[in-house]
Amino acid sequence: MEIGRHGGGELVTTDVLPASKLSSLKINGIRIDAVERGTGAPLLLLHPGIGLDPTAPVLDGLASRARLIAPTHPGFGTSDQPPAFDSVDDLAYFYLDLLDELDLKGTTLVGVSLGGWIAAEMAVKSTARIARLVLANAVGIKVGGREARDIADIFAMPEKEFNERAYANPALGVRDYKAMADADLRAAARNREATARYAWSPYMHDPKLKGRLHRIRIPTLFLWGDCDRILSEPYGRAYAGLIPGARFETVAKAGHFPHLDQPEEFSRRIHAFMEGRSS
Amino acid sequence: MRIYHFSEHPYPEAWNDPHGYLRVDLPNRACDPKRAADLFHRYHDEYLLADDLGLDLMLNEHHQTATCMNSTSIVSLSIMARQTKKARLLILGYPIGHRPDPLRCAEELSTVDVISRGRLDMGFIKGVPYEFAPSNANPVGVMDRFWESHDFIIKAMTTHDGPFNWESEHFHYRQVNIWPRPWQQPHPPVWSTTASRGNARVLGERGYVMAILGSGYATKALFDAYREGYASTHNGAMPGPDRFAYLALFATAHNEAEARRRGELVAAYLRTGATVYAPFKNPPGYLSVDDNMKLMRGMTPDRSFTKEGRVIDMRSGSLQDLIDSVLMVCGTPDQCYKQITDFIEYTGGMSNLLVMAQGGFLDHKDTSDSITLLAKEILPRLKEFKQPGAASVAAA
């Protein structure tokens, strides 16, 4: 690994963010950025479609008891967009390669929303390097009938409505684009485009995934922000019901992004799960 | 010089609801099928009149909208192919960026070309932003899909020795062998539209007809980009004026006051046509990351300019603003002739004028009168008009 540029596009050294590394990784010739922080058992955090903010408090929270690796997906933020990548399946294989490349063993795999979908797609393929799985307000399957909209159409709503539906505290989603640094603005624009590239149609799900979830035979925890109005709690419970032995827990005062609404509680639940304690 | 008569086949009564959006999510309960039938028949009658008068015809399509009932333009195009006698039949555009099945596109267009005995002009477009919601085509990568679809359609139309194979990024066929093959050889003329210099250059390289919509006195930069592209693939030669087209709204009458009254009715299209729920206006990936960054900063590019460089907002501009920026050609036949020829002089040569001569509430009588004057008093003079030499413009 080498020190690289993070989502804000500025060179960040360890002097600025102690005990952390902002790394540029190259996997199969594809360069991505990642936050690396903390020591201990490996924890791979896969971000939602809104991207990864290297200053988010949840990163320190998770890294306090684990070796956190939080990559920015190909096509998002400042990571390369490989021309051939257009599906979550591509991202799942990419991250399985990353686990191999970094020789991670006994990994705790955590995914939020779109990141949860990627994590589920990885786990149905291989859990050789994954010890346990956490899916937080994950998309990825369809549970309702053909005329039921399981997942709110985020591309058919203004940003204000998105924030109100997605966050328990919608102020967390507000961005001042006019004041934003160019590099951050570029990352935000790329995040929106990349989300559509991977999840436009079938919308936010893989019709094949539901029938493959039984293959996941590692401890699995669903963490569900109970104020989410992008997804419903019954959707999450149906998803959990398809993975043998999966546990379903709600997170109070959290929406679609529980890691942002309740970073401490989110980290605490994951640490407890990693350490085999009941939360 | 050719003039193409054009109507979007609107359902104007939908404009009477001041609260709703006109596109994508306007409930079709507001569409009375009997009224829709009457309107289709009426618009088709106006097209037949235009054909009799020596005008050419342009059709387009949009989806889930009261502004344009031609949601499947191939239907009206097919009727025109059989019912008209002389007119060129321009479909502009045929949104191949949305179409999942370019084989069907090639078959439809070849059939229209045959039935019309070789009068089809094929205007390929990627499709307007707010139609990715209805079609569910992914706006990310639409230009790649557009060009693959284009390549496939041309290949299908120009292959005559039995089936060929096509297995590429977006489309898969193993036995392609269309019947009928097109009348025009090697294939009907290809047209397209653009608002970007980069795409204009690409169209020039290919020598396709480039139609520009609504950019007024900012059009020349696009024409010049086309000329550069054309010269690069044609041993430095300059394209003729027949490689360029421009679309304007249009109204004429024997006296100026009446022409302006008609003009206001047609202009209602510009003032309301973009009434779309905001999230549908800019789907992800439709614009480049750089352009999206500008939008996020609140910067919207100016599009329409007068001769003096004054920026015109096509939605709020006065009728005179629209005339000054050639968004609209409007006045007596003499005034219209001068507006058109001034603009042609400015562009350095352009011999395909596309006119929305019916728009909004402009009724059958006024539309018929306006296009009759256009055909009898403006077109003959434009045919005599000497186009400026493109070479001198390119050198300038």
What is the pLDDT averaged over residues A242-263?
Answer: 98
User: In angstroms, how far is CA A90 from the centroid of its own chain?
Assistant: 15
ipTM: 0.92
- State the Cα–Cα distance between residues A71 and A73, nearest whole angstrom: 6
- For residue A188, the chain B residues in CB contact (below 8 A) are 296
Q: What pLDDT does B301 receive?
A: 77
* Distance to chain B for A121, nearest Cα, Å: 22
Place of tokens 């019947």: B179
B85: in domain:
yes
Model pLDDT for residues B127-144, shown as the tens digit of each residue: 999 999 999 999 999 999
CA-to-CA dists, residue B138 to A29, A152, A164, B135, B173, angstroms: 26, 17, 26, 9, 21
Read off the pLDDT band of A279 (50, 70, 90). low
- Measure A186 CA to nearest chain B CA, in Å: 6
Give the pLDDT confidence score for residue B25 in this predicted structure: 85
What is the reported pLDDT for A20? 53
Residue B98 lies inside a defined structural domain of this protein: yes
Domain span at residue B82?
2-384
Q: What is the pLDDT of residues B25-43, one digit of tens each?
A: 888 998 999 999 999 999 9
B233-283 pLDDT, tens digit per residue, is 999 999 999 999 999 999 999 999 999 999 999 998 888 766 788 889 999
Q: Read off the pLDDT of residues A4-57 as tens digits, 9 standing for 90 and up.
A: 333 333 333 333 444 456 789 999 999 999 999 999 999 999 999 999 999 999
**Rounded mean pLDDT for each run of 10 residues along chain B, 396 residues in total:** 97 77 86 97 98 98 92 96 98 94 98 98 94 94 96 98 97 98 98 94 98 92 97 97 98 98 92 80 93 92 84 89 96 98 97 96 97 98 90 42
Per-residue confidence (pLDDT) for residue B304, from 0 to 100: 82
What is the domain count for chain B?
1
pLDDT at position B14: 84
Nearest CB to B283 within list A155, A185, A186: A155
Residue A260 has pLDDT above 80, yes or no: yes
Domain ranges of chain A: 10-274
Instruction: Indicate yes or no: CB of A195 within 8 angstroms of CB of B278.
Output: no
Give domain status of residue B242, yes or no: yes
Q: What is the DSSP letter of A65?
A: T
Cα distances from A3 to residues A6, A36, B72, B105, B291, in angstroms, run 9, 10, 54, 51, 30
- What's the gap between Cα B266 and its chain centre? 16
Give the per-residue pLDDT at A254: 98
Residue with tokens 């200053």: A55
So what's the pLDDT on residue B136? Answer: 95
Chain A hits for B284, Cβ within 8 Å: 155, 192-193, 195-196, 200
pLDDT in tens, A166-191: 999 999 999 999 999 999 999 999 99
Instruction: Please name which of A85, A52, A5 lies closest in space to residue A259, comparing C-alpha atoms.
Output: A52
Read off the pLDDT of residues A264-274 as tens digits, 9 standing for 90 and up.
999 999 999 99
Cis peptide before B93 (omega within 30 of 0): yes
B297 and A178: CB-CB below 8 Å? yes
For the domain that residue B303 is a member of, what is the CATH number? 3.20.20.30
CA-closest candidate to residue B122, choices B170, B182, B175:
B182
CATH of domain A10-274: 3.40.50.1820
Shortest Cα–Cα distance, A2 to chain B (Å): 27
Q: How far is CA B159 from the centre of its chain?
A: 28
The model carries a pTM of: 0.93
- Of B136, B277, B298, which is closest to A178 when you measure between CB atoms? B298
Half-sphere exposure of A227 (CA within 13 A, CB side): 18
Please determine, for residue A245, whether its predicted confidence score (pLDDT) is greater than 70.
yes
Kind of pairing between the strands at A130-136 and B304-305: unpaired
Long-range pairs of A154-162 with CB within 8 A, sequence gap ≥ 24: A154/A49, A154/A230, A155/A196, A155/A200, A155/B133, A155/B279, A155/B283, A155/B284, A156/B133, A156/B277, A156/B279, A156/B280, A157/B279, A158/B278, A158/B279, A162/A230
